[in-house]
Structure 1
Amino acid sequence: MTVAVFDHEGPWTEEEYLSLGETSQRVELFDGSLHVTPAPTPRHQRTSRKLGNILEAAAEAVGLELLEAVNVRLRPGRIPIPDLVITSPVNLDDPYVEATSVRLICEIVSPGNASTDKVLKMHYYAAAGIDWYLLVDQAAGALRLHRRRGRHYVEHSAAKRGETLELTEPVRATIRPEELLP
């Protein structure tokens, strides 16, 4: 993949992006530009797995699907890779999930990507019409659930260590930060 990325001139098209195939790095497409990040840390992946275990059971109970680190097409030319998504049933062989299928999107904030998750992606996800956005802030040991209002998110509920976050939509789940964040 390195040669294809560095030999490329000009903005990336969605077709060129998808032709990169699977990589060991997270490569996201934002309006013609690639955003490349190294693989997540073990702490990040542990948090993702533990949260995914909680959300998967909740999603399956209501006929929804939990997916981890998949391409989500917010609009043509804008394809991030969120940590977790809850979707309506989708074709599991498609190269991406359309934003219209996403019911909840989750990002686990790491020190190196905090502004991307808290500002850029939050704006993009709301603009794409995704109703629920869950941010897991590892540094603060907190969970923040946001609900979309128009083209923006507002905080719906939050929990820090010793507290509980209760999800009632799009799934029912109880999440305790200390169970996710060592």
Structure 2
Amino acid sequence: MPGIDHQSVERELPYLLHRAARRAGHWVYPEISLISGKDLFIPDIAVLRVSGGGRAAIDIRQAVLLGEIVSPGNRREDVIDRPREYAAAEVPFFLRVDLRNRVPAMALYELADGEYRPVSAAAAGTTFVMKQPFAFSVDPADLLDEEAPPDDPGAEASAGVERRSDLAEPLNAQPAPVGELVASVPAPRGDHRQHEDPAVA
């Protein structure tokens, strides 16, 4: 289950992206339904060439960029499966946001020869910059809310659940190096275990 940090980014990033995207004639939506043949995708972030106003779902071919906020319990899906599926659908750009250890990092990929290749990446405390599909920049650290006080009962309860969850990241894990975040994401071709992204913990 996505944590509150995931929701914070899903609140902040689409808002900031939308302001920049509108200047380029695009629209940004969080968690909308995209149709690809018989498949339905609901990415965390979608940048569309057209407005989705009044629709329940939209063709994935209208997407110029799709983004996923990596959750510990869905790490393989967010890092391996979704990029491959979006590449197969020929979505031009893929954006990944990794929140491991509350050190947010962003990586942008561009589709080339059927697979996503790294274009730009940055971690908290530096500036993520992209020029395509529209100009945008942000410090990934600005996407997270400040940490809850340790004496907050809700925060303690959440921490207890995380410690007991076998889906949580190890407490002694190190932040993912930016080099890992920009590893190429191959398009679907056979057993995905042969093309595993090194960013998967």
How much has 1:97 moved relative to structure 2?
Answer: 1.7
CA distance in 2, matches of 1:117, 1:158: 17
How much has 1:68 moved relative to structure 2?
Answer: 1.0
Count of aligned pairs: 143
What is the identity, as a one-letter code, of the residue corresponding to 2:43? P
Runs of 4+ in 1 over 6 A off after TM superposition: none
2:27 equivalent to 1:65:
yes
What SS does the aligned partner of 1:90 have? coil
TM-score normalized with structure 1 length: 0.74
Q: Is the 8 A contact 1:126 1:153 kept in 2?
A: yes
Deviations 1:43-74 (A, max 9, x none): 2111111111210101111221111101111x
Partner of 1:86: 47
Which structure shows the higher strand fraction?
A: 1
> Which of 1 and 2 has greater Rg?
2
2:126 equivalent to 1:163:
yes
Deviations 1:64-116 (A, max 9, x none): 1111101111x222111101111011342333221211011111001011100
Gaps of 5+ in 2: 146-201
CA distance in 2, matches of 1:91, 1:112: 30
Matches within 5 A, 1:34-113: 38=1, 40-73=2-35, 75-113=36-74
What is the identity, as a one-letter code, of the residue corresponding to 2:55? D
CA distance in 1, matches of 2:107, 2:22: 23
Give the counterpart of 1:145 among 108, 112, 121.
108
2:113 equivalent to 1:181:
no
Partner of 2:89: 128
CA distance in 1, matches of 2:85, 2:27: 22
What is the identity, as a one-letter code, of the residue corresponding to 2:60? A
Q: Is the 8 A contact 1:90 1:97 kept in 2?
A: no
TM-score normalized with structure 2 length: 0.67
CA distance in 2, matches of 1:90, 1:57: 14
Gaps of 5+ in 1: 1-37
CA distance in 1, matches of 2:76, 2:41: 14
What SS does the aligned partner of 1:100 have? helix
CA distance in 1, matches of 2:12, 2:52: 25
Greater RCO, CA 8 A, separation 6+: 2
Q: Is the 8 A contact 1:90 1:101 kept in 2?
A: no
What is the identity, as a one-letter code, of the residue corresponding to 1:130? V
User: Identity of paired residues, percent?
Assistant: 28
Coordinate RMSD, CA, aligned: 1.4
What SS does the aligned partner of 2:10 have? helix
What SS does the aligned partner of 1:46 have? helix
